[in-house]
Structure 1
Amino acid sequence: MGNQHVKLTVDASLFKPTMGFSAGSMSATVDPSGEFELLVEAYNAEQNWRVSKKVSVKLASSGGFGISLRDGLFHEVRAEASVETVLPTSKHMAPLDFVTLAVQCVGVEVRLTMQVMVKNHPILPAIPVGVVAFTGKLDFPNLSTQPQPDGDIRVSGALVLSGRISVSLFGHSRL
């Protein structure tokens, strides 16, 4: 595809229902410079709520992003990224910045570590307040790939993420 942008769209059930999402979609546009834009939309039909989040991601200089296909299915996913996005909080709290320190996906094994930062506090400077870590598995049951005339690849199927999340606040409190 040369220097063209690569667009990957996944129509999927993002997470198991126990994680709150009943269904959703995810799409990413990747360009050769190592930057990509990720759009995640999810909803819970029973509780009647919907989430739409767009995140611009620039890969770490030492990292990379790659997907290999075997027999039309995902064989391996590798990713290392640096992500920064401000999450909405209540009016009584300072905005929280979640900055990923490491994202590693090899096969179906997923390791995600995020450092939590506070910004724009009226008194405190931007400081780290904790670390969120996730270790688990990413499964792609019943995926199908469909090349598009413009060179894009459309992927349909289920996307299931399961594992354990741990939270460390100020280096000594762990959940």
Structure 2
Amino acid sequence: MKTYSPLQKVVFATSLAAVSVAIDVFFKFVLNIQFFGLPFYAIPVILGGIILGPGYGAAIGFVADAIGLFMSGGTYMPLYALGPVIWGFLPGLILYKRYSAFKLAWVVPLTYLFVNLNNTLASFVYFGSETTLSLLVLRMALIPFNSLIIFYVVKDVHVKLAPFYERFTWLKGEAKA
């Protein structure tokens, strides 16, 4: 019987973090907006949380955000670092081993809302109330549109990755037998 080591999970998590970094840096350079970003970097982070668990999802979000930030030349602000961690942790907490498209449909907007609230608090702390209020309206207006895109991409990629990640769950079932 073949067993899958924790190293394979770490390699998969690192691959997802690399994809997240690539997406994040691409959107930052294409749009050239330093204080506002689109959350599509969260797609691999969400997948990591769903497939590997909330701990891995949070770690993927943290690592991807830190590397993406340094690659794009931004300044590290710890409160903003909580957003990507939430993107990995919350979907992983709710959907790990209990995935369904219906749950994903409400988890994505809920997570997006929590991340927006975190980023609003961070904007208030770092930049003051004027910047916070101006970006809050834009952030909240984008939740439905971006949530739909993230939902459909995560749902479809999750199905495509099924043969790959089933071996992680198969290993857990094998250990119990």
**Interval of TM-score (by shorter of Structure 1 and Structure 2):** 0.3 to 0.5
Normalising by structure 2, we get a TM-score of: 0.32
Q: More strand by proportion, 1 or 2?
A: 1
Higher relative contact order (CA 8 A, sep 6+): 2
In our comparison, the structure showing a higher alpha carbon Rg is 1
- Larger helix percent: 2
Give TM-score scaled by structure 1 length: 0.32
